[in-house]
Structure 1
Amino acid sequence: MLNARKKTEMPTAETALKGRASAIPTAQEHFLFGRPIKGPYPAGLEVAMFGIGCFWGAERKFWQLGAGIWVTAVGYAGGFTPNATYEEVCTGKTGHNEVVLVVFDAKAISYERLLKTFWESHNPTQGMRQGNDVGTQYRSGIYVFSDAQRAAAEASKASYQKRLSEAGFGLITTEIVAAPAFYFAEDTHQQYLAKVPHGYCGLGGTGVDCAEPTGVAAGPASAAIHAEG
């Protein structure tokens, strides 16, 4: 229990692992789409970032949306350790969350559709865990790249909270904050469930539908993304 408690407590900048100056190696192309994971991305595309538990299953939720999704990638964000490794993140001593970066064409799929997928793909009331996965790296998070994204995220949170409360669930613990630096995870983790179709996925939603609100414009990927490495 002591170890579990430590894994659910955020480190401070002083106690976090120090990390490294250089980016860790990762894939160059998306395993399914054959497009460059790190860009450059075509002009006019937008970017979103979410944390919904183990990023293996989380990434699959977004690439499966199909039309409008240009590329997805998994990585680490929201902590203190630059260029952390998977093993370091799993110690709970980096403060990072396992997140999914989604580059999309808003003319084909809206940010609100991504938010709907986000809310319905996990239980956002569980704090520093998702199902049996326990730790700060499994917390629910929406990392926004613009004021418009923040407004859309906050509105969808309020709407979904009402529906969850009616269904008997507790308060949403999702953090909605400005997008921090994003560090690409190792090649092994990129599109993991496409490479290992029967691999582990611990995600489970609440079964409560999320209404898709009216469109809100987001920021362009070329201007908004702050990715390291």
Structure 2
Amino acid sequence: MSFMTMLSNKFSLVDRAAALPGRETAIMTPGRHALTGVPIDLVPGEGQEEVLLGLGCFWGAERLFWQLPGVAVTAVGYAGGPTPNPTYNEVCTGRTGHTEVVRVVFDTNAISREDLLRAFWEGHDPTQGMRQGNDTGTQYRSAIYYTTDQMKQAAEATAAAYTQALRAAGHARAITTEIRPMEAFYFAEEPHQQYLAKNPGGYCGLGGTGVACPAPAPAG
């Protein structure tokens, strides 16, 4: 593989026809959350909702969300690309099309979609495209993969509000966050789950813009 091809794989989404084939069998059997003991494949119950959030390296991103009140469980994994059941090393090649995401199941009566998304927007720089800080490649792109129309509306509204806040603060680049329906989600390998709970001094690449996300404008 040439150097230029390697660069292309890192910064351009792979064509479906050129994606790695993956495998039929899952690489990870979901266990329990290292801090709470809740199954990380918890099926959302009454009043709960699931969303996948990509904001750079998923180690630090997961910690951001498990600390929020109203979050029932978090887990890390891969989404957004065509390769089924990828490994971490495969995702790192850029040839799966996946980005690193945090699966968040939350109680909509305890935390609003907008407040959850404010943590998302403020927790990273959503204008960087295929990177977050020193972490470069398509696996670090910003993404919101929603499961309900209400979350879609909240994502679009908070994105618009944050766009205005960034412009007012002098940020010239546009938000590049993918906002689209959740398709497949693949759990990452066990060592990645709740990584910073198991390794308190481990790497955390989160870094926001320093700009607060305001409440979105009322609909209508």
2:17 counterpart SS class: coil
Residue aligning to 2:97? 95
Q: Is the contact between residue 53 and residue 129 of structure 1 (CA under 8 Å) also seen in structure 2?
A: yes
* C-alpha spacing 1:152/1:40, structure 2 compared with 1 (3 Å): closer
* C-alpha spacing 1:8/1:212, structure 2 compared with 1 (3 Å): same
Return the alpha-carbon distance in structure 1 between the equivalents of residues 128 and 118 of structure 2. 18
Letter in 2 for 1:78: G
Equivalent residues, number: 215
Q: TM-score, normalised by structure 1?
A: 0.89
Q: Is the contact between residue 120 and residue 207 of structure 1 (CA under 8 Å) also seen in structure 2?
A: yes
* C-alpha spacing 1:95/1:77, structure 2 compared with 1 (3 Å): same
Return the alpha-carbon distance in structure 1 between the equivalents of residues 162 and 29 of structure 2. 35
Letter in 1 for 2:125: N
CA deviation after TM superposition for structure 1 residue 41, in Å: 4.4
Residue aligning to 1:61? 64
Letter in 1 for 2:197: A
Q: Segments of 4+ in structure 1 off by > 6 A?
A: none
Q: Is the contact between residue 51 and residue 97 of structure 1 (CA under 8 Å) also seen in structure 2?
A: yes
1:14 counterpart SS class: helix
Letter in 2 for 1:206: T
Return the alpha-carbon distance in structure 1 between the equivalents of residues 21 and 213 of structure 2. 39
Q: Is the contact between residue 157 and residue 217 of structure 2 (CA under 8 Å) also seen in structure 1?
A: no
1:201 to 183, 192, 204: 204
Q: What is the CA RMSD across the aligned residues, in angstroms? A: 1.6
Q: TM-score, normalised by structure 2?
A: 0.93
* C-alpha spacing 1:68/1:215, structure 2 compared with 1 (3 Å): farther
* C-alpha spacing 1:27/1:146, structure 2 compared with 1 (3 Å): closer
Q: Does 1:52 align with 2:58?
A: no
CA deviation after TM superposition for structure 1 residue 146, in Å: 1.6
Q: Does 1:14 align with 2:17?
A: yes
- Structure 2: tracts of 5 or more residues without a match: none
Q: Deviations over 1:64-114 (max 9, x none)?
A: 11x311100000000010000000000000000100110011111111111
Return the alpha-carbon distance in structure 1 between the equivalents of residues 18 and 218 of structure 2. 42
Letter in 2 for 1:108: A
1:18 counterpart SS class: coil
Q: Is the contact between residue 68 and residue 108 of structure 1 (CA under 8 Å) also seen in structure 2?
A: yes
Letter in 2 for 1:46: E
Return the alpha-carbon distance in structure 2 between the equivalents of residues 24 and 9 of structure 1. 25
Q: Is the contact between residue 112 and residue 214 of structure 1 (CA under 8 Å) also seen in structure 2?
A: no
- Structure 1: tracts of 5 or more residues without a match: 217-229
Give the share of equivalent positions with the same residue, in percent: 59
Q: Is the contact between residue 50 and residue 101 of structure 1 (CA under 8 Å) also seen in structure 2?
A: yes
Residue aligning to 1:82? 84
